[in-house]
Amino acid sequence: MRITIKAKLIAVFAVLIVLLGVSSVMALRSTSQLQAKLNEIVNETAYRLDESLIMEAGAARAMSLIKSYLVQPDTAIAEDIAEEVDHQIAEVSEAYDHLASIVTDPELQTMLAAFDREWQEFVSVEAELRGPGLAHTGLKANRIYATQSEPAFRALYTEAEALIADVRARIASATVRVPGLVSLEASIDAMIDNVRAIQSYERDMLWLTDAEALAAVRELITAQELALTENLAAATRFASGADSSAVASVGEAWQAWQVPLNESLALSLENSGFVADEILMNRVEPAFAESSAGAEAIGAEARQNLAEAQVEAQAAYQTSRNLLLGLGIAAALIAVAAAFWLSTTISRGLDRAVSVVREVSRGNLDVDAKADNRDEIGTLLTSMEKMVVDLKGMSRSAEAIAKGDLKADVTPRSDEDRLGIALRDMVLKLREVISNASVSASHVAQGASNMSTTATQLSTGSTQQASAVEEASASVEEMTANISQNADNAAQTEKIAGQSADDARRSGEAVGNAVRAMKTIAERITIIQEIARQTDLLALNAAVEAARAGSHGKGFAVVASEVRKLAERSQQAAAEISQLSVETVDVSGEAGRMLEALVPNIQRTADLVSEISASTREQNVGAEQINQAIRDLNAVIQQNADAAEKSAATSEELAAQSQQLTGVISYFEVEPSNVRAPARTERVTSAGPRMSVVPGGKSDRNAPETREEAFDLDLGSEEVSDADFQRYAG
């Protein structure tokens, strides 16, 4: 009986699917039970626990916020904290309402009712606490004392001390006793004692909390205030002069202090902090403790219920787990046994098939692939046996072809036998190719001989061209040297022209400077003329004075006459020099104008010479480029000559290779066929006119033309085409 692998697999998987279905049904039923228990935990037990925790945390948060706004000195911040207390109270009340709506257990309902009573008491007491708690009279009194009352006291005390020190100094310095000063000193001294006592009592009221003690201290302060007023009035009566203004200043300081003093005392008497602390400790904290204990009891009950539900869920989970584990182990054992049986059955046949394939891949076709199995593995081995037989036949045909016998007949096994078809076509194509290659080899040898002759002629022509190019290169180099010399001369001329333009420009500037110097000299000579004229006048005046002096002034008259003559001569010489300076200025100005007219012409000449120099340099560059091109051409011609010589050598090598190819082709045995040998066509090609070199580097275009035969690269056959060759896939 033939049992296939498919049938075996279906049977095994059917058993596994049945076990999987049974375990899935059991798992779904257990999961449903566990889901119901979890829903009960989440929707009731856990929800009760969450709400009880909200109640407990909200109560604790509210108590913490109450203590915060009691110690917060900033009224605005304290009021914000009080609003947060209201928010926490609302959250606790909301959690209580939610919990009361879902609880059905009588015991838990009793606990909720007890919590509600205590919580309402806490809320009521907190409302009474908020008024005095937000007042912060003690903190405000301390702030007023520190910022207003204490500075005002210091100002009053300082003025009073300064006044009594002045009075005592005057009493000590007086030679006789002044009753008014003594009375003034006593009044001020008593007033200072009153001020110190009031300030001390004020500090006492800041930390006192007992209402009776606060009232008693306030009465003492009132008595000191009355005494201070009387002492101030007495000091006013005894004061005179500057003391009156000083006492008045002390009175003003006392009036300034009374405002913050009374405000601080009033806040201290209110004693809101003490009242708030009393309410907090005696009423709020006990109510909070009771309500917090109730919330904790509710939370503990919820935790206990949650723990019991968790134990029940854990038990259900363990039962389901054990059942599923049993079914899973059974399915696993069945699967392992089936897998071992199937793998053993399949692996034996596959090992046999792998062994056959391995030997065939190594080239060993002498293998036995007969099968004993009656399943798919047996069918596979039978097919492989037939494949080995066919491969042996192809191997024998390939061995005959390898020995050069192309007469072997290759027959494909079917139309789908691509390897057999490819081998058959390869044999046919080899027959055709070998026949054509045998004919073409002779043509290759003949063509190689012709190509060698042509290469020799090409080498000779290249040598002649190289000689002509060398002569042309020498001529161009000589022309380049002349152009370079002209460029150097033009550059030198350009420099000289530029220098001349600069010299002419500087000469014009020098002439201008000379004209300005002459004008300056003329101005100085005019000054000399004026000095000579004034000297002449002075000499004339001296002569007149000498004449008036009589005999005593004769000598002085002679000197004055000589001085006058010198002055006249100086004036005449200065006039002549001035005339010469004017003429020199005119001549220098004319020379400057002529130089100014000459400078542009010289500059234009320099520009033209510069342009000539630039053109010459460009010609020099062009000549260099031509010379370089001729040198490059000479190198190319030399390379062509070398290539022609190498081509001749290559053609000789090609002829030798063609003879060797003919010997190789003769190895193959081909049946006589009707394949036509390619006809050899003799082609006469023109080698082109060869230019002979004549003296002067010119080519002779009338040289006689010669024609040589060229190598027929298409092998002289129109029947051999690349399209006849095909690519076969293995």
- Cα–Cα distance for residue pair 252/229, rounded to 1 Å: 12
- Cα–Cα distance for residue pair 237/184, rounded to 1 Å: 8
The stretch 67-84 carries a mean pLDDT of 77
- Cα–Cα distance for residue pair 419/437, rounded to 1 Å: 26
Q: Between 376-402 and 5-40, two packed helices, what is the crossing angle to 10 degrees?
A: 130
- Cα–Cα distance for residue pair 85/123, rounded to 1 Å: 10
pLDDT of residue 256: 93
Q: Nearest-CA neighbor of 536 among 558, 559, 505, 568?
A: 568
* Predicted confidence band of residue 78 (pLDDT cuts 50, 70, 90): confident
* Predicted confidence band of residue 595 (pLDDT cuts 50, 70, 90): low
pLDDT of residue 27: 66
pLDDT of residue 684: 37
* Predicted confidence band of residue 32 (pLDDT cuts 50, 70, 90): low
% pLDDT > 70, the chain: 72
119 close to 96: Cβ distance less than 8 angstroms: yes
- Cα–Cα distance for residue pair 249/448, rounded to 1 Å: 142
Return the top range by mean pLDDT from 281-285, 629-633, 658-662: 629-633
- Cα–Cα distance for residue pair 172/447, rounded to 1 Å: 155
φ, ψ (nearest 5 deg) of residue 707: -125, 135
- Cα–Cα distance for residue pair 429/504, rounded to 1 Å: 97
- Cα–Cα distance for residue pair 377/5, rounded to 1 Å: 9
pLDDT of residue 63: 81
pLDDT of residue 35: 61
- Greater confidence, 94 or 274? 94
- Greater confidence, 279 or 166? 166
533 pLDDT above the threshold of 90: no
Q: Which residues of 183-210 are buried (b: 16+ CB within 10 A; e: fewer)?
A: ebbbbbebbbebbebbbebbeebbebee
Q: Which residues of 560-573 are buried (b: 16+ CB within 10 A; e: fewer)?
A: beebbeebeebbee
| Cβ partners under 8 Å of residue 398, min gap 6 | 423
532 close to 573: Cβ distance less than 8 angstroms: no
254 close to 157: Cβ distance less than 8 angstroms: no
Report residue 505 CA to chain centroid gap.
62
252 pLDDT above the threshold of 70: yes
682 pLDDT above the threshold of 50: no
Q: Nearest-CA neighbor of 355 among 374, 368, 373?
A: 368
711 pLDDT above the threshold of 50: no
| Cβ partners under 8 Å of residue 53, min gap 6 | 299
292 close to 59: Cβ distance less than 8 angstroms: yes
- The whole model's pTM is what? 0.31
pLDDT of residue 614: 80
pLDDT of residue 613: 74
Sign of the dihedral through C-alpha 176, 179, 180, 185: positive
pLDDT of residue 718: 47
pLDDT of residue 688: 41
pLDDT digits (tens, 9 = 90+) for 290-328: 777 777 777 777 677 666 666 776 776 677 777 777 777
pLDDT of residue 435: 72
Q: Which two tokens stand for residue 83?
A: 């609003």
